[in-house]
Amino acid sequence: MPELRHDWRIEEINALLAMPFSDLMFKAHQVHREYFPANQVQVSTLLSIKTGACPEDCGYCSQSAKHDTSLERETLLPLQEVIDSAKTAQAHGATRFCMGAAWRNPTDKNLERVIEMVQAVKGMGLETCVTLGMLTDRQANRLKGAGLDYYNHNLDTSPEFYGNVISTRTFQDRLDTLEHVRNAGINVCSGGILGMGETRVDRARLLQQLANMKFHPESVPINDLVKVEGTPLAGVEKLDPFEFIRTVAAARIMMPKSYVRLSAGRAEMTDEMQAWCFFAGANSIFYGDKLLTTENPGESHDQQLFARLGIQAEAGQAGSVHM
């Protein structure tokens, strides 16, 4: 197997993204087969445990209090409701249960309630993941002590384009939280959103930021922008599907041991586009008809697509940390 790299130059990444499509697909698929079973996809479920009223101004987000999206605000879900949702997800084949709260950063009081959820879900034999906004070192260590497997905190886009999308926290703030998570010994889940009006160079810079970390993120979600009415990015031009697939392929080549996840936007992808993404090295999806507040393909559709493509869902092993 090729040695993992953490020194990617932007010229190399631009060259990858500019390869003839068939050549790029062939290269990415070869790399994928060296590190993962070719026809196996990890399945996760994502639940919004606290919806809306977020003080951040992320231009893509329906949950920002600064955007008029008619989203109903909800308080933190009761523990039993989270447990019931996790049981349903597990019964439908999910091996990882992810919980998202629309906070800039959690208070210590709210963190304790989330820790109860993590412990309960972990006790069911599921891998656990949360996304709660920015964390301190101490909070990351509290989550580690509770048995959290993954923490999601996306970089979203390139450092250069970031200010066009978000002004209420900096790119460095995101890197700092990821450092706290990594130092605590929690698996890192970090990726980005494509189709926000960025250039191919911006997508290359996003991948460079992720791949040149001291340790590659164990999970790299690649989101296709879901345009929500009332958000600043609602009218942005849709990204060419081949550009999305190329980015998935480059992520696989640059971070060969990471799970590359098709995240938001799958409801608007054709089956053929998803099939190309799987061929290019995507090997994780979110399962279920809802991703926080946006639509997702139903479980029966995903099962049918897996059957048509000869793909099997991966069996889970909770608790493994790759350092």
Which residues belong to the active site?
A: 54, 58, 61, 98, 129, 189, 261
| DSSP H or E run through 234 | none
β-pairing, 150-152 with 312-313? unpaired
Q: Is 60 helix (H, G, I), strand (E, B) or coil?
A: coil
12 φ, ψ (degrees, to nearest 5): -65, -40
Residues 66, 72, 77, 81, CA torsion sign: negative
- Alpha-carbon gap, residue 190 to 32, rounded angstroms: 19
Q: Which of 239, 250, 159 is nearest to 196 (CA)?
A: 239
Structure tokens given for 53: 């009223």
DSSP structure class, residue 267: G
Q: Is 260 helix (H, G, I), strand (E, B) or coil?
A: strand
Q: Which residues contact 150 (CB under 8 A, 6 or more apart)?
A: 96, 98, 127, 128, 129, 130, 186, 187, 188, 189, 218, 219
- At residue 230, what is the residue type? G
As beta bridge partners, residue 285 has 43, 262
Count of CB atoms situated within 10 Å of the CB of 34: 11
- At residue 260, what is the residue type? V
